[in-house]
Amino acid sequence: MGIKKFFLNNILYFIGAMVGGIGGFFYWKFVGCASGTCRITSSPLNSTVYFAMLGALTFSLLKKNTK
C-alpha cells in the first residue's frame, strides 16, 4: 500500500484533525484557562492535540462503510 493510497483512504481523518487542531488552538487563545489549573485548556499544545483527536473522531463518523 503506497503512501498516496493510504492518505486518500483516510483523508477525512486528516481533515478532521486539522480542523480540530485549529479550533483547539483558537479555543486556547480566546477562551482558555487563565489560572493554569485546567489540564486541557491551560496549554496550547494540550488543547490543540485534544481537539485534533476530537476532530478526527468526529469526521470519522462521515466515512461510509465499503463492505
* Residue range 35-52, pLDDT digits in tens: 878 888 888 999 999 999
Look at the alpha carbons of 65, 16, 9, 1 in this order and tell me if their dihedral is positive or negative. Answer: negative
35 falls within a domain: yes
CA 20 to CA 38: how far, in whole Å? 19
26 falls within a domain: yes
Tell me: pLDDT of 33 over 80. Answer: yes
Please give the residue range of the domain that contains residue 16: 10-60
53 falls within a domain: yes
- Please count the structural domains in the chain: 1
pTM for the structure as a whole = 0.84
5 falls within a domain: no
3 falls within a domain: no
Query: Is there a contact between 21 and 50 (Cβ–Cβ < 8 Å)?
Result: no
Tell me: pLDDT of 65 over 90. Answer: no
Per-residue model confidence (pLDDT) at position 57: 95
Q: How confident is the model at residue 9 (pLDDT cuts 50, 70, 90)?
A: confident
66 falls within a domain: no
